[in-house]
Homo-oligomer: A and B are copies of this chain.
Amino acid sequence: MFNFVPVLLQDGVMKLNEKKIQILLTAEKLFADNGFDGTTIRQISKKAGINIAMISYYFGSKKKLLEALLIYRISDFGSEFDSIVSDKGTYLEKIDAFIEMMVKRIHQNRRTHKIVSFEYSNPFREINFEAYENYKKENFNIVANFVKNGQEQSEFSKNINVQMIIPTILGTYFHFYYNKNFYQNLLDISNESEIEHYVHNQLTQHIKQTIKALLTYEE
């Protein structure tokens, strides 16, 4: 049984059949939990229920498996954002929808983001992070334009470090996620669904509040 050729096509996009996606998702979880180096292809194979040779056969190597995951996971969020901006209402009101979208998105891709975060800074890791960098650049430009427009409408304060807004939003989320064990204990929540609930309610609310406060703060 075969569906697609197991090689990179000319445009560099790999066709993904169900089995390949299953392998990617298994690898994503293991990479996020144990790190790239901490995960073996035997672990991935076993958990995905395939033979170890299939990973080389499908993806070429462990490194290329990670690259395939990055391309599969990280897509732009320009269009989603456009519909928020075109909605009526003040810029301040739009922030709520905007933050909500960002947190949902980042939460959905949290594992891949974690993997990238830790492998990105390693200069000896010869992995192609182009997709990730383009994604970040696009996100940054969207935020920068949004804030600029809000400032022109005099809804937002001047003297805001626009470049550090994304670190504030995503950083807050990720610091929570990376220290999940700690905050689980602190907040006295136990299971995964309660964490999900906290993220999409209290944490999202806190980030909204923080960003709205920052954008309207006058010293």
Contact = CB atoms under 8 A, between A and B. Distances in A.
Interface of A: 33-38, 114, 117-118, 120-124, 133, 136-137, 140, 160-161, 163-164, 166-168, 170-176, 178-183, 186-187, 202-203, 205-206, 209-210, 212-214, 216-217, 219
Contacts of A214: 209-210, 213-214
Contacts of A172: 164, 167-168, 171-172
> Does more than half of chain A's interface fall in helix, strand or loop, or is it mixed?
helix
Given A33-B121, A118-B35, A175 B182 contact: no
A134 to B, nearest CB: 11
Nearest to A34: B122
A26 B187 CA distance: 36
7 contacts: A36-B38, A120-B178, A121-B180, A168-B171, A168-B175, A168-B210, A171-B171
Contact of A140 (B140, B186, B205, B209): B186
Contacts of A133: 182
A198 to B, nearest CB: 10
A174 B170 CA distance: 10
Given A174-B171, A179-B117, A209-B214, A34 B164 contact: no
Which of A172, A176, A187, A203 has its CB near the most chain B CB atoms (within 10 A)?
Answer: A172
A139 to B, nearest CB: 11
Contacts of A173: 171
A188 to B, nearest CB: 11
A181 B34 contact: no
A69 to B, nearest CB: 17
A56 B43 CA distance: 28
